[in-house]
């Protein structure tokens, strides 16, 4: 199971990568494996406000449906439009081409409340 | 079943794990739900050929004087229509007409062979045993036999590499005892996918040898390993009922659209109720529903119309072949006609669904 050490994680299996004041958000390799083939992703509109650990979308997989929770608060500045035609890119490349939204972060202090790779690994291997 | 019951491995479990399968508990068995992914496995069966381990299914033998009459009395289809080598789809009903199980009845030279759902093995055996007259022998072979299915438009190409038996003159829903992959075994031209295909009942001791032979023969034709996930979406596209989801003891064959496997001219356990319901017409029917858009109907979701909730989705998926949401569910008879519209409630939102003619997928190589 791939858990990159340079990312932060939620207990709900989202990851976040912060570059400058923009956070890129997706779901983890573990999450995509548990969900199985992803059929579609309901995305927020660009400009929408998201709250830390607030719901921002839904992911429908063959085996289950799951809500998506934002690791950080902020304004949605980009969504991965490629997911419309090829949602299974999340299964193939969860930390790369399978990113879901980008958020302009309002409070960098929130990152301290997220899990590091080691902390997240403990959750999924417990 | 108690939660601490140890899962039963099939004779092929180690092969699934070695192939990277995701294993899940199913009806007490440790089964592969998927290998590479449900969608790609589903499409491999529709377009080429796939291999399924179905060793969890139950098999009973019924023999002795009176075996035919016994099966006539406990199953709904006309067993007398079976000549040796033929198979029929049937079901057993209780005194209220509720479906105890759906099953396949094979007529062999000197006995009958029943294939029942894994989740119902103990219940079915007890049910049959309690109705069985003296002189009829009922034997549970479930733990002695592995079951492999080869399914897909190219299934015969793979099977032809494994046996000299004349497959060209083997019709759908027939069986034979023959040498397959060097082993003497019972196999049939049957399946649960809508595609052409074969199912092989393999004595445990021969399972490992046969697996290797099937893989060797199948590899030349690009055979893929298929898990229970794709098995479910394949059968659903054909409107083949899944016991426990679409049918159970609270539903009757008439409601479930299974009147075609009921011989209304004979008597069987439950027949007074079933015949009466056929005559009067059922108050609800199991229908095929198609939706639009990117939604995913699932088991247990409510079906509604202007009157409010009128039924429930019993099976649903996003059809890999049709690329649209499909579902089965029970609706009142007045909403069961082809073209009728209802709503399926998916996370508090109503989505329009249209009753369509079965099967959902119409290009299958067999039906």
Dihedrals phi, psi of B122, to nearest 5 degrees: -65, -45
- Mutation pick from A31, A60, A62, A65 vs chain B, by most beta carbons of B within 10 Å, is A62
Question: Are residues B346 and B287 part of one domain?
Answer: yes
Residue B4 has pLDDT above 60, yes or no: no
Spatial distance between the Cα atoms of B191 and B194, rounded to a whole number of angstroms: 7
Question: Are residues B147 and B230 part of one domain?
Answer: yes
B317 vs A40, A58, A62: nearest CB: A62
Give domain status of residue B202, yes or no: yes
Cβ contact A37–B294 (<8 Å): no
Question: Are residues B152 and B20 part of one domain?
Answer: yes
Question: Tell me: the pLDDT tens digits for B161-211?
Answer: 999 999 999 999 999 999 999 999 999 999 999 999 999 999 999 999 999
Chain B residues whose beta carbon lies within 8 Å of the beta carbon of residue A91: 37
User: Considering B201, B220, B236, which residue would you say is the last residue of a domain?
Assistant: B236
Q: H/E element holding B293?
A: none
3-state secondary structure of B305: strand
Cβ contact A37–B39 (<8 Å): yes
- Average pLDDT in chain A: 95
DSSP-derived secondary structure letter, B335: G
Chain B residues whose beta carbon lies within 8 Å of the beta carbon of residue A40: 294, 296, 318
Closest-CA distance of chain B to residue A87, Å: 11
Give domain status of residue A15, yes or no: yes
Question: Tell me: the pLDDT tens digits for B243-269?
Answer: 999 999 999 999 999 999 999 999 999
Give domain status of residue B270, yes or no: no
Q: What is the pLDDT of residue B69?
A: 98
Question: Are residues B180 and B42 part of one domain?
Answer: yes
Give domain status of residue A126, yes or no: no
pTM equals: 0.92
Cβ contact B318–A62 (<8 Å): yes
Residues of B with CB under 8 A from a CB of A: 22, 33-34, 37-40, 229, 233, 294-296, 298, 317-318, 347
Give domain status of residue B227, yes or no: yes
10 Å Cβ neighbour count for B153? 18
Helix axes B38-47, B228-237, angle to 10 degrees: 50
Chain A residues whose beta carbon lies within 8 Å of the beta carbon of residue B21: none
- Mutation pick from B20, B24, B39 vs chain A, by most beta carbons of A within 10 Å, is B39
Question: Are residues B209 and B154 part of one domain?
Answer: yes
The closest alpha carbon to B173, from B83, B244, B239, B240, belongs to B83
**ipTM > 0.95 (yes/no):** no
Q: Decide if B173 contacts B181 (C-beta within 8 A).
A: no
Q: What is the pLDDT of residue B5?
A: 67
B104, β-bridge pairs: B89, B115
Residue B367 has pLDDT above 60, yes or no: no
**Structural domain boundaries enclosing A78:** 8-106
Question: Are residues B355 and B227 part of one domain?
Answer: no
Spatial distance between the Cα atoms of B224 and B51, rounded to a whole number of angstroms: 6
Q: Decide if B297 contacts B360 (C-beta within 8 A).
A: no
Q: What is the pLDDT of residue B294?
A: 86
Question: Are residues B308 and B205 part of one domain?
Answer: no
Give domain status of residue A68, yes or no: yes
Cβ contact A63–B38 (<8 Å): yes
Closest-CA distance of chain A to residue B113, Å: 34
Question: Are residues B335 and B230 part of one domain?
Answer: no
A65 vs B38, B40, B296: nearest CB: B296
Closest-CA distance of chain B to residue A33, Å: 9
Chain A residues whose beta carbon lies within 8 Å of the beta carbon of residue B322: none
Give domain status of residue A113, yes or no: no
A32 to chain B: closest CA residue: B37
Give domain status of residue A38, yes or no: yes
DSSP-derived secondary structure letter, B164: -
Pick the more confident residue, B367 or A60: A60
Query: Structurally, how many domains does chain B consist of?
Result: 2
- Average pLDDT in chain B: 96
Give domain status of residue B196, yes or no: yes
Residue B1 has pLDDT above 50, yes or no: no
- The predicted model gives B335-353 an average pLDDT of 96
What is the pLDDT confidence band of residue A107, given thresholds at 50, 70 and 90? confident
CATH of the domain at A51: 2.40.50.100
User: Considering B236, B253, B270, which residue would you say is the last residue of a domain?
Assistant: B236
Question: Tell me: the pLDDT tens digits for B88-132?
Answer: 999 999 999 999 999 999 999 999 999 999 999 999 999 999 999
Give domain status of residue B367, yes or no: no
Question: Are residues B168 and B312 part of one domain?
Answer: no
CATH of the domain at B293: 2.40.30.110
Cβ contact A58–B347 (<8 Å): yes
Q: What is the pLDDT of residue B2?
A: 43
B287, β-bridge pairs: B329
Chain B residues whose beta carbon lies within 8 Å of the beta carbon of residue A58: 347
Token readout for B54 is 């179905």
What is the pLDDT confidence band of residue B366, given thresholds at 50, 70 and 90? confident
Question: Tell me: the pLDDT tens digits for B128-147?
Answer: 999 999 999 999 999 999 99
CATH of the domain at B156: 3.30.1360.120
Cβ contact A36–B34 (<8 Å): yes
Give domain status of residue A114, yes or no: no
Residue B362 makes CB contacts below 8 A (sequence gap 6+) with none
Closest-CA distance of chain A to residue B241, Å: 19
Question: Are residues B288 and B203 part of one domain?
Answer: no
Question: Are residues B39 and B163 part of one domain?
Answer: yes
A36 vs B38, B294, B298: nearest CB: B38
The closest alpha carbon to B297, from B256, B339, B347, B340, belongs to B347
**Structural domain boundaries enclosing B327:** 283-361
Task: Return the percentage of chain B with pLDDT > 70, whole number.
Answer: 98
Give domain status of residue A112, yes or no: no
Give domain status of residue A124, yes or no: no
CB contact A36 to B (< 8 Å): yes
Question: Are residues B13 and B147 part of one domain?
Answer: yes
Q: Decide if A67 contacts A81 (C-beta within 8 A).
A: no
Query: Structurally, how many domains does chain A consist of?
Result: 1
């Amino acid at each position: 199971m791939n858990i990159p050490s340079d990312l932060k994680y939620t207990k709900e299996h989202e990851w976040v990568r912060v570059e400058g004041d923009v956070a890129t958000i997706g779901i983890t390799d573990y999450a995509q494996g548990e969900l199985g083939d992803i059929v579609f992703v309901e995305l927020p509109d660009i400009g929408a406000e998201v709250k830390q650990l607030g719901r921002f979308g839904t992911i429908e997989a063959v085996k289950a449906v799951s809500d998506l929770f934002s690791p950080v608060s902020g304004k949605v500045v980009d969504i991965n439009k490629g997911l419309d035609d090829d949602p299974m890119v999340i299964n193939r490349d969860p930390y790369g081409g399978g990113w879901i939204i980008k958020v302009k972060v309002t409070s960098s202090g929130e990152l301290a409340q997220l899990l590091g790779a080691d902390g997240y690994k403990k959750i999924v291997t417990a | 079943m108690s939660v601490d019951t140890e899962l039963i491995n099939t004779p092929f479990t180690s092969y699934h794990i070695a192939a990277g399968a995701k294993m899940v508990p199913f009806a007490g068995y440790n089964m592969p739900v998927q290998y590479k992914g449900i969608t790609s496995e589903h499409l491999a069966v529709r377009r080429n050929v796939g291999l399924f381990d179905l060793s969890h299914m139950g098999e009973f033998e019924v023999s002795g004087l009176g075996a035919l009459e016994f099966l006539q009395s406990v199953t709904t289809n006309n067993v007398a229509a079976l000549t040796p080598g033929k198979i029929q789809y049937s079901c057993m009903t209780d005194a209220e007409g509720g479906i105890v199980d759906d099953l396949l009845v094979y007529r062999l030279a000197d006995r009958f062979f029943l294939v029942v759902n894994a989740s119902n093995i103990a219940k079915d055996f007890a049910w049959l045993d309690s109705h069985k007259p003296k002189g009829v022998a009922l034997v549970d072979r479930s733990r002695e036999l592995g079951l492999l299915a080869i399914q897909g438009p190219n299934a015969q190409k793979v099977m032809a590499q494994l046996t000299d038996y004349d497959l060209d003159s083997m019709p759908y829903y027939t069986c034979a005892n023959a040498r397959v992959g060097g082993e003497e075994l019972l196999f049939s031209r049957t399946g649960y996918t809508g595609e052409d295909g074969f199912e092989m009942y393999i004595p445990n001791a021969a399972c490992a040898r046969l697996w290797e032979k099937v893989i060797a023969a199948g590899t030349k034709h690009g055979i893929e390993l298929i898990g229970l996930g794709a098995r479910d979406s394949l059968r659903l596209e054909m409107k083949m009922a899944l016991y426990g989801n679409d049918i159970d003891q609270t539903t009757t064959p008439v409601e479930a659209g299974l009147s075609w496997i009921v011989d209304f001219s004979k008597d069987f356990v439950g027949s007074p109720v079933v015949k009466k319901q056929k005559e009067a017409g059922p108050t609800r029917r199991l229908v095929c529903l198609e939706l639009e858009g990117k939604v995913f109907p699932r088991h247990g979701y409510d079906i509604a119309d202007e009157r409010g909730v009128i039924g429930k989705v019993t099976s649903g998926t996003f059809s890999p072949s049709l690329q649209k949401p499909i579902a089965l569910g029970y609706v009142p008879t007045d909403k069961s006609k082809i073209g009728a519209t209802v709503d399926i409630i998916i996370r508090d939102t109503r989505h329009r669904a249209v009753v369509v003619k079965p099967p959902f997928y119409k290009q299958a190589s067999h039906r």
